[in-house]
Amino acid sequence: MLAYTASELYSITLMQGFAGLSLFSVLLLMALGLAIIFGQMGVVNLAHGEFMALGAYTVYLCSEIVQNHLPALAPYYFIIAVVIAFFTAGLAGLLVEWSLIRFLYKRPLDTLLATWGLSLIMQQGFRLIFGGREVTPVLPGWLMGSFKPTDGIDIPINGVFVMGLTLLLTFGVWLFMYRSHMGLQMRSTVQNRVMSGAVGINTRLVDRFTFCLGCGIAGVAGAAFTTIGSTGPDSGSRYIVDTFLVVVFGGTASLIGTIASAFGIAQAQSILEFFLEGTAGKVAVLMGIIIVLMIRPQGLFPSKIRS
Amino acid sequence: MKLKQKRMLPPKVFSPALTALATLVAGIGVLAGTLRAAEYPTDKVNTTGLAVTDTEVVVGQLHSATGTMAISETGSIQAEQLAIEQINAMGGVLGRKIKIIVEDGASDWPTFAEKAKKLLVNDKVASVFGCWTSASRKAVLPVFEKENGMLYYPTFYEGLEQSKNVIYTGQEATQQIIAGLDWMAKEKKAKTFYLIGSDYIWPRTSAKIARKHIENVLKGTVVGEEFYALGHTQFGSLINKIKLKKPDVIYAIVVGGSNVSFYKQLNAAGITSDKWNLITISVTEDEVLGIGGDNLVGFYSAMKYFQSLDNPNNKVFVEAFKKKYGEKSVIGDVTQAAYLGPWLWKMTVEKAGSFDVDKIAAASAGIEFDKAPEGYVKVHPNHHLWSKLRIGQWQTDGQARVLYGSELIEPDPFPKGYQ
């Protein structure tokens, strides 16, 4: 080991901490939508990754339109594009729920198969419309580069953006679920569908809305990821495994669980990648998760429902 | 849906004189073709049951049109089809027009092996132009050797391989890696290197060869060596490690779609060419199109071909490529090497006077092609090409400024002391 000055070590620790937080926000953003769908509704949505890709492609389309027809909008379009991605993915979720998912609520294994088929259809759809090559939207200038508080510290701006977005979204979801009327209806439907129907809650509508919300959040996640990497037709399949990992590890049906598990996995992976190498770090994290799940299969923070 | 595709159609002129002239020329072409074919009767040029008739010969194309490698392989598909179109316009090979059967390996190595078998056994193609990653080549090699097919393989690779059934039109390690390292050590006085790559055979073997050269010949040190899965996108921890170790040179062998994330994150973390040296052997104009020239500006690539090469062959080639595939198309090293494949095959078949794989394998040594966009190439008895190495520095427009060109380097896939 080379000898480092105290300030270098301090900078490195700070940046490593930031890398961990960055990864945490990425995982949380991915998992939030799925936590709502899988956690709250028990629907195994294997097409969740494709909804993220849909959000990413929406941002790419907005970028292309702005580049070709509205160049004056170029510095501002990104935020608008993210919002559009939310609604696009949400609308797509609405369509999917209405045409496919609502027949399958009592059949979890069938939703697994159906959504997997849906993911294949969506992937091929992307391939047909956008081509097999990966694409990136043109990112606005304010998203590039980094903050340099001191000489040794470089905080990438897009990392901060993703973290900010995640914070906003998580807070928004919490506010919605625990402080709004619709959120109350959602939670009650999940806990006891029959009684909720009996007290006058339109459970069908609540289910539809929940699914849309989950897909919309996935769309925002995909839109945020365009700042980090490129988007291809099979980008969704790269996200889906980590997403399910986070949700199951945290305990389904639990927002706190999702947050805690995303944090734990992200920090563990970040630190282990630093000391071990590349793939070895990921292997170690996955082994750790397997061991924990074997001891505690219900996840970190299962919600205590009398069933 | 291609969002930008401007095709210029030729003006419609139906004057009788022009039509008569066109028919005459076409007629002569057909006559010439059939005369040539008559010179080479099918039963003489095809004694092994390949898909050859008096007027047609079938070849196969096996690349990834989909998956994480599509970003890199699409150029090869286009180049090979352009070459075959040009050869057909000149009358074809031994008077026979070339017909292509196109298969998609889908960035999945078992799929490559399966499609290779289909092309050789079911379709009985006379030759296959395909593969990109070493993993895909290793997957299909046993198939080609068992079914006795011929593969024209366009990618720069790690060497340590030689087969009667493969012609390697890309550079092997000693031509690309060693010459590149020597240039970096001399120009930048580099002593410490950080090796980073994707996790499969080519980057790992290349890193091994690079390490041996750095430690034994350049007397430098490798301060880090790491590999990440293909498709990996989170490089935060790695970038922190690079900043910690402060290598003189970052030697990057990241492949495919991961390049986009890697260079974007490097740029965002402040690792730019004003303070850092980075040389890569896996980024060509195709990857820069996806990464964005701004993220790479000032970094170096070691390749035998760059689109900006200034020679008459290249001007003609770039123009023809852009005419067929659009003004915005880019041409990387592998694309050019893929373009060489059909031409070398045509010349070898004509020299051997036969399509039989055994005959063209034997006739390959010594074939010279001076119309290559990279300049001049010659096939070595070990089925690799003599070629030059160039160092290019990336500019914001996605093109490379060529800073250095070596002499012709003899291919040596089994260099002593590097295994």
Domain boundaries, chain B: 50-170+310-387, 173-308+392-405
pLDDT of residue B28: 63
Query: Cβ separation of B265 and A156 shorter than 8 Å?
Result: yes
ipTM of the complex: 0.71
Nearest to B70 among A16, A132, A282 (CB): A132
pLDDT of residue B29: 56
pLDDT of residue A306: 46
Nearest to A230 among B1, B232, B290 (CB): B290
Distance, in Å, from the CA atom of B309 to the CA atom of B301, rounded to the nearest integer, reads 14
- In A, residues 58-97, which contact B (CB 8 Å cutoff)? 64, 68
Percent of the residues in chain A that have a pLDDT greater than 70, as a whole number: 93
Nearest to B66 among A8, A132, A238 (CB): A132
Domain B50-170+310-387 has CATH 3.40.50.2300: yes
**How close is the nearest chain A Cα to the Cα of B262, in Å?**
8
Looking at A46-60, A69-83, A210-224, B34-48, which range is the least confident one? B34-48
- Tell me the helix, strand and coil percentages in chain B, rounded to 5: 45, 20, 35
Half-sphere exposure of B312 toward its Cβ, with a 13 Å CA cutoff?
A: 2
pLDDT of residue B14: 53
Distance, in Å, from the CA atom of A120 to the CA atom of B355, rounded to the nearest integer, reads 41
Are A301 and A260 a contacting pair, CB within 8 Å?
A: yes
> Is B173-308+392-405 the same fold as B50-170+310-387?
yes
Are B115 and B102 a contacting pair, CB within 8 Å?
A: no
Which residues from B are below 8 Å from A22, CB to CB?
236
Both structure tokens of A244: 């399910």
CATH of domain B173-308+392-405: 3.40.50.2300
Residues A197-213 pLDDT 10s: 899 988 888 888 889 99
Query: Cβ separation of A144 and B67 shorter than 8 Å?
Result: no
pLDDT of residue A153: 66
Listed as ranges, residues in chain B with pLDDT below 70 are 1-15, 17-38, 419
pLDDT of residue B19: 64
pLDDT bin (cut points 50, 70, 90) of residue A307 is very low
Which residues from B are below 8 Å from A234, CB to CB?
66-68
Query: Cβ separation of A146 and B269 shorter than 8 Å?
Result: yes
Residues whose CB is less than 8 angstroms from the CB of residue B175 and which lie 6 or more positions away in sequence, other chains included: B156, B304, B387, B389, B409, B411
pLDDT of residue B236: 82
pLDDT of residue B77: 94
Orientation of helix A235-250 relative to helix A6-34, angle to 10°: 90
Whether A16 has its CB under 8 Å from any CB of chain B: the answer is yes
- In B, residues 255-294, which contact A (CB 8 Å cutoff)? 257-258, 260-261, 264-265, 267-270, 290, 292, 294
Nearest to B3 among A15, A64, A145 (CB): A64
Whether A203 has its CB under 8 Å from any CB of chain B: the answer is no
Tell me the domain boundaries of chain A.
18-234
What is the average per-residue pLDDT within A69-73? 79
pLDDT of residue B411: 92
Which residues from A are below 8 Å from B232, CB to CB?
278
Residues whose CB is less than 8 angstroms from the CB of residue B204 and which lie 6 or more positions away in sequence, other chains included: B197, B227
Whether A152 has its CB under 8 Å from any CB of chain B: the answer is yes
Which residues from A are below 8 Å from B270, CB to CB?
145-146, 148, 154
pLDDT bin (cut points 50, 70, 90) of residue A248 is confident
- Tell me the helix, strand and coil percentages in chain A, rounded to 5: 75, 0, 25
Residues A272-305 pLDDT 10s: 888 887 778 888 888 988 998 899 888 787 765 5
Residues A79-107 pLDDT 10s: 899 999 999 999 999 999 999 888 888 78
**How close is the nearest chain B Cα to the Cα of A2, in Å?**
8
The string of DSSP codes covering B168-199 is E-S--HIIIIIHHHHHHHHHH---EEEEEEES
pLDDT bin (cut points 50, 70, 90) of residue A1 is very low
- The answer to whether residue A4 scores a pLDDT higher than 80 is no
For CA atoms B363, B364, B368, B373, give the dihedral sign.
Answer: positive
